[in-house]
Structure 1
Amino acid sequence: MWQPGTKLIREVSPELGVGIITAVDGRFIDVFFPSTAATMRLSTDHGGLAPVELFPGDDVQIQGEGEVAKITSIQGRIALLDNGKRAEIQTLWPVYKPKTLVDKLAEGELDAHGELLHRLDGYKLLNYRRNVDVASLLGGRVELFAHQLDTAARAVARDEVRWLLADEVGLGKTVVACMIASSLVRQGRVEQALILAPDTLTVQWLGELYRKFHQVFVHIDEERVDSVAKDFGKRANPFEIHPLSILSLELLEKRPDLQLLLEKAMPDLVIVDEAHQVADSETADVILPLVARAKHALCLTATPFQSDADKGDEVFLKIAEALRLEILDEDGTRQVSNVSAVTRDDIHALGKRVPNPVDIEDFSGPLEVQDPRVAWLVKAANEWKNEGKKALVFVENATRAQALNDVLTRELMGRVFMFHERMSTGARDIELAQFQLSKSPVLVSSGAGSEGRNFQFCDVLVHLDLPRDPMVLEQRIGRLDRIGRTEAIPIVYFRKPDDDVAKNYESMRIFEEATMGAKRHAGWSFPDSHVREESEAVMRRIPADLDSLTQKFVLQAAERLGLDVVEKEGSAAYFFEYGGGVVVDAIPGLHEGTRFLGTFDRAEAVRSDLFDFFANGHQLVESLLAELEDSRMGRVSAVKLDKELRKRLRGVYLLLLEGKGVASPRMIPLADASGIPPKGLQREGERILAELSSASPLSGTQASMIFRKFESKLDGVEIDHDALVTCVLCVAMD
């Protein structure tokens, strides 16, 4: 059937026009499509290929000539044209006009009803993400909290997303920023994004974005800068080569050349972590103008006002100016828009802080077992090890961290892990990952672990040394006291006789509650910040069927396309593989051998890193939705509505789902005895779409006969056929 020179149509891609086979290789054929100058290798096993036959009445062009003529008759291999010319059939190209969905309905060329329902499920998912609201933010492998969703939804609803995330320590500012960034990238609103963070947090940002939000960012370190220069030339800009990137604040300060490259790159989105440090640093003159120029910008800080009042105001105003935030004076109170300043009072209860003071005698010797704090720690560590618990122990600096590590390693006769500023960023991240996986009960940290890091997996917090600054102490407690934690947080600290520092903190109740973070500077208000009373309304905006609909769509798509699927017994997990049984030429974003192990259950995905979370943004889900949008299946149908709808409507209607972005239904009455006004009919159309599974499909012959009877009712009705997703003839008559 297939041989070089045969002309054909690829029915799933009619926009390609007529193609001609240039080569045959077993079950594969190479096809050239002149109208698009595209050459494709297609499998003949998968269907969707139709040879082109010419008949009298067809419009054609002679190869190499532009004139369009009509075939009047065919005599053997010669066609007579209405312009008087004779031409060999092989030299004629049909003037191909793809059938519209309405044309197919008129000719009774219907798709299977199940395919229509599958397409509607897919477009419901697409609409969820394209409507700029809470549902577009739910692809992350994270537990859902109202204050995070509320802030992110408010942010992405703006044409220019420019926000200060100043929530209290431990309430998930990084997750909010990732939600916003991921949504902007997926919606195509951001092509180039830069995250600036302290060196200790760059790898954590990479992990959060990839593991939780399916976003691949690149860490621009010195090695990466050198490799870009080597691979692309010395003039290449690493921020243009890697449009989604993360850069440490320390490297930016160290390398003025990177500052110049950043100014040239002009990212669409700039995110600055620990912005209070940036605003008061030597690189402020580089970073804050970068924030000001970007279309979208986020600044993160838990402590905009936690230093002295004048200094706090100065730092805050610098950040607000760079973000171009609106500041209004209302009766002596400065009101600032686009600021999230959520405190623990604004959300549901977190884990309870449980102070565990240990009274000791004064001791001034080295960190050895003679020190009563070390002696207590050795005893407790053995108990924690037997109980399978882990403790985070804070000391003053790297020297003391190393000294304590040496003592504990010796006394416990096992490895003890460290985290301090003398270690490289990579070494710290490896140490932390190994500690999580090990049975070791203790991680010793200097102040390097005080800000930004998430040590929520630890069970106990120990302050071997108490810092002098209460804000630093709050930051350290915030490594465990974080959103999502419900277990109690034992906080161990040591009291010497006449210990004014410990007594001062006890009087502040800082070991019992987050008294520092909850304080907001007098004279400021933030009307866009989430408040507790809005929580229930925010959570109601989450589509109840989102996860189940995703599961239904993905499983049906996998079956339709021939992906291998195995449900894992005893868990909510599925294994998918792109094997030899796939029945289409290609699935966008996937290739043969691609495999995934994951779950559609959010709680299971949050609980176990072993499973992918199949949701918005995941490669499998994105690929199957892209394939659906490209395919022609499930677009044309005809149904007899159920009895209740027939009683109410009494007529024949054309129900269109249309739109190049968010697809919406349009109900066109062809014969209407319902008396329902036009707006009411549109609401009925939405209801029909939701209940089409209960309708009875009609045959192609029935559909064609009924439609042609009322086809003239479409005269004068404008239909954008390029934006048409589905076309359904709905019969509400007995």
Structure 2
Amino acid sequence: MSEFIPGQRWVSDGEAELGLGTILSCDFRSVTVLFAASQETRTYSVRQAPLTRVVFGAGDRIEAADGRTLTVDDTKEAKGLLIYVVETADGEYEEFPESRLADSMRFQQARDRLLTGQVDRNDWFELRYRTLHHYHRIAQHPANGLAGPRVDLIPHQLYIADEVSRRHAPRVLLADEVGLGKTIEAGLILHRLLITGRAERALILVPDSLTHQWLVEMLRRFSLHFTLLDEQQSQHSTGNPFESAQLVLASQQWLFANPHRQTQAQACDWDLLIVDEAHHLDWSPEASGPGYACVEQLAHAIDGVLLLTATPEQMGLASHFARLRLLDPERYTSLAAFEAEETGYARVAEAVDALERLPGDAADRDSVGAVIDDADSQALLDTLIDPESDDTQRDSARRQLREQLLDRHGTGRVMFRNSRRHVAGFPERHLHVTRLAPPSSYRRELRKLDRDMDYLDDLLITTGLDHPEVLLYPDAMYRAQCDASPGDTALNAEPWWQIDPRVTWLLERLTEVGRDKMLVIAHDRETASDLSEALRVLGGVQAPVFHEGLTLIERDRAAAAFADEEDGCQVLVCSEIGSEGRNFQFCRHLVMFDLPAHPDQLEQRIGRLDRIGQQHAIEIHVPVFEDSPGERLLRWYDEGMRAFDAPHGIGSELYDAFGDSVADALLDDDALAEVIADTRRFFESRLAAHEAGRDRLLEWNACRPARAQAITEAIRELDDDPALPRYVDKALDVFGVESRDLGGDIQHLLAGPHMLDGLPGLVKGEEGFSATFDRQRALARDDVQRLSWEHPLVREMMERILDGTLGNTALALLQHPAIPGGRLMAELVFRTHCPAPRHLNVGRFLPPTAVRLLLDESGANLTQKVSFGGLAKNLQKVKKAVARDLIKSRHAQLRDLLTRAEDEAENELPSIIEAAQTHMRDTLDTELARLKALARHNPAVRDAEIEALAHERRELDTAIDATRLRLDAVRVVVTVDPPE
């Protein structure tokens, strides 16, 4: 039992957070201690006081009350109080009484905690070592950042995410066809950048109708919590509302219309900007729309930019150029130059085709030779055509030359576009057309138009509708005429849906499809609302309506009611916005109540159902009136461009070329036949041109199968990692999380009574969440989260362990017949510390690395003879009080072992640094050489990107070279004699 003397410094064994205590008084029964830093006073029984005397030895660093940091050189004692001889920062020596130690001293480091008697449980120590091992392993894994999201492993999406997220400040256009998963690609890229530290702040701008969908998608699939910012929330912010969160989601319509909020958004430091439906940004060589101007300002200030559009050329080549100009204004300066550049891609595509036939004939050799102009490529071509080359050499040369051609030509580096021709898993489409007799009110108007074309001008004035909408949407024309002439008895007083046979037809179709879901899309918002009411009144069918006039919550409720398999509605009625952004691949019946005027909108409608994950053929139902403008438009789509068969990506070109002619031919069958014939010829020629040129290059470049397969296999390796369930089970137990098996590889996690606070998704008194390690089970059930090394709960537990003190000290007993009792061993774990900015992601090359040492009391190194696992399974736990007494009795011996261990560990550091430097240099030097070679051929490689990579390499070189080792954890092992 220690003698307590007023003025001595002690630390509480059970409440180390109180800081350094000072003995105030002591008698035969009790001792009173003041913890000045926390303003607490404690009184303990002298016999059982949970206190440890604080004694520092030579070499220890201590904190003085005046803020100085001093190094202990020697220790003296006077009347039971310690006086340290310390060295100051100036190299001078002075005497320093223990009373002048800082009250706020915390013992966080393993050495200090051990020597002050603060020991943790053995299973905590073992969990800490395992955590360091797994953290090191996962940080360098090629699937790190891509394995955690709850998504299907679709090769083209994984390839794009891997390729783009590896780049410094990626600036790309994600332009996959509808249904191929651009949102998932963007989410994967963002997720990896966040996980690896390459990004910390992101701003996502989406159409107002999609804000809540993006919010839910980022949370459900990627476990990313975004703040949805709008005007109401912004007004509640005391400062810049965009500074209120790291991840912000905002409506384009709101931000584009508010210059003040734009200024605030531009004032923030963002790492990544994501803009969905980017084809809506208006630009021409003469002027920019407000949305384009806003994004242009943001893109100028933000290093990373992702633009998403399923129709990169929806408004023509100028629109496509405008998107690329946002990404790289220095590269894309002239629309005319860009148009000229587009014409050269056919030669490159022909050369890539010819590669597959080489050595082939002279024409193939000339085709490839015409597009290469450097020695490396020429050497590869020579190998290919050399008769002395074997198959292995030719295959290698062909692969390398193909990669070079795809890398160096075209916009493939800044634009990724996959099409269904190269992606499997899409269903067939079946078109069902029903021709109906128009009601008398509609027929009367058509007859007037047939007799007198001037009547069309009158209709445009009377209804306020545009041409050709006034012809294509007779219900809208009928409503407008009723509103314009409420007293005209020639007009029916009935609502349009009581006279329109398409409503009765729709009710019949709903009966025919049984329990199958049916999505109905109409061009006009009022038509959609009226149609929902008509189904309820005429057929007793509850049909939620989905249009731009609803609030986000109302839209989400309508979509949720439609998606519910058990109690949901059979039909959902949408206005045109139902064809953008929302995905309904659980439904296979699509009713086009009318037809849109633009072929791209037609494809967007079908794309809501025709997506990866659709399990059935798409049944497209179109009711048209006989000999009507709607039927003629249907013929143009079907016969002129096969629009209902599959997406082809040239709808905009066809609309630009023939849209006006079609509008003029909606009342003339002869004129329509001519337009259809011209459209078909143009369609087939443009399709062939796209096949031959840029589109083929883009599609080849958008997914390299070998790399896609490699990253897919890497993710599956982490999915099947047997260490993950074992680790999570142990960590949940240590952190006080209860787990209940629900069967089917699903468990329910909830906060236990002693759970550590602040774990994601777990709050004491709340129900917790269900989780599984199985990807497919998580995909099948929205209510089940997927546990992975990247899940927020797992990451939080790992980071708390590594950043905190949990398990960094322990003491255990070892009973072994070959080792006499009373011997001492120290198991020490050192960890590399590399002080580098987070954005460098130094963990790719040098994650926290453990150096384990096992020394006996003589200082002999037993590390290679006794493994961590082998030792751990033979250890016995010991009560904390006994552990503290054992440590106190071996203070001097432990200090000596700790000092020896530091010298031993330092011997391991050079080889760790050298391996990391070699890995970093091999990786970045190769990529730097590749970029420089590309830049000589492809101006899409920005000088800023090359310089940024070179600068990153220099910074990494310096950071890795400055790596040091520090003691992370220590376990004292005391041998005991076996029982007789």
Pairwise CA distance, 1:332: 2.1
Match of 1:304 in 2: 312
Within a 5 Å distance, the mapping from 1:232-631 to structure 2 comes to 232=238, 236-280=239-283, 281-308=289-316, 310-321=317-328, 332-333=344-345, 335-336=410-411, 337-362=413-438, 364=442, 367-368=496-497, 371-384=500-513, 386-387=514-515, 389-437=516-564, 438-494=567-623, 496-497=625-626, 499-507=631-639, 508-516=641-649, 522-523=693-694, 525-526=697-698, 528-532=701-705, 534-546=707-719, 548-568=722-742, 570-582=743-755, 592-593=764-765, 595-600=767-772, 601-615=774-788, 618-629=791-802, 630-631=804-805
Q: Are the equivalent residues in 1 in contact too, given 2:521–2:573 (CA < 8 A)? A: yes
Taking structure 1 as reference, are residues 441 and 722 closer, same or farther at Cα in structure 2, changes over 3 Å only? Answer: same
TM-score normalised by L of structure 2: 0.59
Partner SS for 1:245: strand
Query: What residue identity is the alignment partner of 1:506?
Result: D
Q: Are the equivalent residues in 2 in contact too, given 1:57–1:72 (CA < 8 A)? A: no
Partner SS for 1:415: coil
How far, CA to CA, are the matches of 1:544 and 1:355 in structure 2?
43
Pairwise CA distance, 1:300: 0.6
Q: Are the equivalent residues in 1 in contact too, given 2:9–2:98 (CA < 8 A)? A: no
Q: How far does the alpha carbon of each residue in 1:182-217 deviate from its partner, in whole angstroms, 9 at most, with x for none?
A: 333344433332111111111111111122222222
Query: What residue identity is the alignment partner of 2:623?
Result: F
Taking structure 1 as reference, are residues 342 and 567 closer, same or farther at Cα in structure 2, changes over 3 Å only? Answer: same
Q: Are the equivalent residues in 1 in contact too, given 2:828–2:901 (CA < 8 A)? A: no
Pairwise CA distance, 1:224: 1.4
What is the aligned residue count? 677
The structure carrying a bigger helix percent of its residues is: 2
Match of 1:26 in 2: none
Taking structure 1 as reference, are residues 120 and 476 closer, same or farther at Cα in structure 2, changes over 3 Å only? Answer: farther
Taking structure 1 as reference, are residues 500 and 99 closer, same or farther at Cα in structure 2, changes over 3 Å only? Answer: closer
Q: How far does the alpha carbon of each residue in 1:648-706 deviate from its partner, in whole angstroms, 9 at most, with x for none?
A: xxxxx999664554234669999xxxxxxxxxxxxx99xx99x96577757699x99xx
TM-score normalised by L of structure 1: 0.76
Q: Are the equivalent residues in 2 in contact too, given 1:396–1:446 (CA < 8 A)? A: yes
Pairwise CA distance, 1:613: 2.8
Taking structure 1 as reference, are residues 39 and 488 closer, same or farther at Cα in structure 2, changes over 3 Å only? Answer: farther
Q: How far does the alpha carbon of each residue in 1:544-575 deviate from its partner, in whole angstroms, 9 at most, with x for none?
A: 2446544332221111233222222x333222
Q: How far does the alpha carbon of each residue in 1:564-587 deviate from its partner, in whole angstroms, 9 at most, with x for none?
A: 22222x3332222323234x6886
Match of 1:717 among 907, 914, 922: 907
Taking structure 1 as reference, are residues 433 and 127 closer, same or farther at Cα in structure 2, changes over 3 Å only? Answer: farther
Q: Are the equivalent residues in 2 in contact too, given 1:114–1:634 (CA < 8 A)? A: no
How far, CA to CA, are the matches of 2:207 and 2:330 in structure 1?
20
How far, CA to CA, are the matches of 1:450 and 1:120 in structure 2?
52
Pairwise CA distance, 1:171: 0.9
328-337 or 445-454: bigger deviation: 328-337
Q: Are the equivalent residues in 2 in contact too, given 1:141–1:213 (CA < 8 A)? A: yes
Partner SS for 1:564: strand
Pairwise CA distance, 1:97: 11
Within a 5 Å distance, the mapping from 1:173-184 to structure 2 comes to 173-184=182-193
Q: Are the equivalent residues in 1 in contact too, given 2:83–2:98 (CA < 8 A)? A: no
Partner SS for 2:702: coil
How far, CA to CA, are the matches of 2:96 and 2:328 in structure 1?
73
How far, CA to CA, are the matches of 1:118 and 1:657 in structure 2?
15
How far, CA to CA, are the matches of 1:353 and 1:482 in structure 2?
12
Match of 1:663 in 2: 848
Match of 2:20 in 1: 19
Pairwise CA distance, 1:104: 11
Pairwise CA distance, 1:474: 0.7
User: Higher Cα Rg: structure 1 or 2?
Assistant: 2
Report percent identity of matched pairs.
Answer: 26
How far, CA to CA, are the matches of 1:494 and 1:407 in structure 2?
17
How far, CA to CA, are the matches of 1:69 and 1:93 in structure 2?
18
Q: Are the equivalent residues in 2 in contact too, given 1:420–1:448 (CA < 8 A)? A: yes
CA RMSD of aligned residues (A): 5.2
Q: How far does the alpha carbon of each residue in 1:58-102 deviate from its partner, in whole angstroms, 9 at most, with x for none?
A: 979898687857434465x44577799999976778999989879
Q: Are the equivalent residues in 2 in contact too, given 1:470–1:516 (CA < 8 A)? A: no
Taking structure 1 as reference, are residues 79 and 552 closer, same or farther at Cα in structure 2, changes over 3 Å only? Answer: closer
Q: How far does the alpha carbon of each residue in 1:9-35 deviate from its partner, in whole angstroms, 9 at most, with x for none?
A: 589999x89623899xxxxx999697x
How far, CA to CA, are the matches of 1:245 and 1:55 in structure 2?
49
Query: What residue identity is the alignment partner of 1:335?
Result: G
Partner SS for 1:304: coil
Q: How far does the alpha carbon of each residue in 1:401-428 deviate from its partner, in whole angstroms, 9 at most, with x for none?
A: 1221121111221421111233334432
Within a 5 Å distance, the mapping from 1:127-206 to structure 2 comes to 127=136, 130-131=139-140, 133-206=142-215
How far, CA to CA, are the matches of 1:391 and 1:94 in structure 2?
71
Partner SS for 2:144: helix
Match of 1:52 in 2: 53
Query: What residue identity is the alignment partner of 1:248?
Result: S
Query: What residue identity is the alignment partner of 2:163?
Result: R
How far, CA to CA, are the matches of 1:237 and 1:467 in structure 2?
42
Match of 2:75 in 1: 71
How far, CA to CA, are the matches of 2:63 and 2:230 in structure 1?
60
Q: Which stretches in structure 2 are left out of the alignment for 5+ residues? A: 25-31, 45-49, 87-92, 284-288, 346-408, 444-474, 476-495, 652-686, 815-826, 835-842, 856-862, 877-885, 887-892, 910-962, 973-980
Q: Are the equivalent residues in 2 in contact too, given 1:351–1:487 (CA < 8 A)? A: yes
171-180 or 617-626: bigger deviation: 617-626
Query: What residue identity is the alignment partner of 1:368?
Result: W
How far, CA to CA, are the matches of 2:592 and 2:829 in structure 1?
67
Pairwise CA distance, 1:304: 0.9
Q: How far does the alpha carbon of each residue in 1:129-173 deviate from its partner, in whole angstroms, 9 at most, with x for none?
A: 634843312222222212222211222211212221111111111
Q: How far does the alpha carbon of each residue in 1:485-536 deviate from its partner, in whole angstroms, 9 at most, with x for none?
A: 2332222223555633333333433323223379758446447521445432
240-249 or 592-601: bigger deviation: 592-601
Partner SS for 1:163: strand
Q: Are the equivalent residues in 1 in contact too, given 2:225–2:247 (CA < 8 A)? A: yes
Q: Which stretches in structure 1 are left out of the alignment for 5+ residues? A: 24-28, 641-652, 671-683, 730-734
Pairwise CA distance, 1:7: 4.7
